Structure 1
Amino acid sequence: MQLTIDVKKDGSACVLTVRGEVDVYTSPLLKSHLAEAIDEGCLDIVVDLDGVGFIDSSGLGALVSGLRRVKERSGSLRLVCTKDSILKVFRITGLDKVFPIMSSVEEAAEF
């Protein structure tokens, strides 16, 4: 399945809406979108994963890379995810303790 990423910017805040499967083939696209957003001044990033049907370790790596990059600039990265299958991956890997995971973009924007 193809990966699409829509980026909405509002000053230093950005929402990346991700749809599709994030795997070894598509994770470089996610990583590059995150890096580009940060390089363009986004320091308050929300990644909406509700449109993601599958994520593997390379996708998790892309998110961790984005988190590391934005924290170097004193920014933040929060996730939106309500799908049990995706949340399970974060729980199993312990990344649910690393990323704030919210149930909506609105909730993440207020955090």
Structure 2
Amino acid sequence: MNIIEDPCMVVSCDVMNGWTVLHVDGEVDIHTSPMIRKAVAELLDEGHRHFVLDLCAVPLLDSMGLGMIVAVTKRLQDHQGSLRFVCADDRLLRVFRVCGWHEVYRFYDAPEEATRRAPSGCGLESWPRRLARS
């Protein structure tokens, strides 16, 4: 089901093995990042705690997109939640490596891999300590 439809981006949502998977199709930037943040907040209010952000169809992730990920992470951590990423694009993965996020988050090539095991506990225990060391 689509939870965000915008001329620049579409976000659909599936629940797989206890994970809420957000499939993002389009640019994650100053215009679209607040929409994703709001959608995650609404899903949290509905009881979702463990998220997978599928970025396979994202051609651009700017600094506002990175800021949105930090804000979402803080919110999920407050709810003892988890956040994983699906991303096979070397350019985006390089951005995550430069940020030091490979030490904090888990990255997968496909949603099926990210959701293979059901979530257990908070998956963000090491955030932001490891992030701060980078």
TM-score, scaled relative to structure 1: 0.90
Give the superposition deviation at 1:96. 2.1
Whether 2:43 is the aligned partner of 1:37: answer yes
Give the superposition deviation at 1:27. 0.8
Paired AA for residue 110 in structure 1: R
Any stretches of 5+ residues in structure 1 without a counterpart?
none
Q: Is the 8 A contact 1:27 1:58 kept in 2?
A: yes
Q: Is the 8 A contact 1:12 1:41 kept in 2?
A: no
Aligned residues: 111
Percent of counterpart pairs with the same letter?
38
Deviations 1:25-73 (A, max 9, x none): 1111111111111121111111100010010111011112111111111
Give the superposition deviation at 1:23. 0.9
Q: 2:80 aligns with which of 68, 71, 74?
A: 74
Q: Name the residue aligned to 2:100.
A: 94
Paired AA for residue 67 in structure 1: T
Q: Give distance in 2, aligned partners of 1:40 and 1:95.
A: 27
Superposition pairs for residues 1-111 of structure 1, below 5 Å?
2-9=8-15, 13-111=19-117
Q: Name the residue aligned to 2:125.
A: none
More helix per residue: 1 or 2? 1
Answer with 1 or 2: which has the greater Rg.
Answer: 2
TM-score, scaled relative to structure 2: 0.75
Paired AA for residue 43 in structure 2: A
Any stretches of 5+ residues in structure 2 without a counterpart?
1-6, 118-134
Structure 1 residue ranges (4+ consecutive) displaced by more than 6 angstroms after TM superposition: none
Do the aligned partners of residues 10 and 50 (structure 1) sit closer, same or farther apart at CA in structure 2, a change above 3 Å counting? closer
Give the superposition deviation at 1:12. 5.1
Q: Give distance in 2, aligned partners of 1:97 and 1:39.
A: 28
More strand per residue: 1 or 2? 1
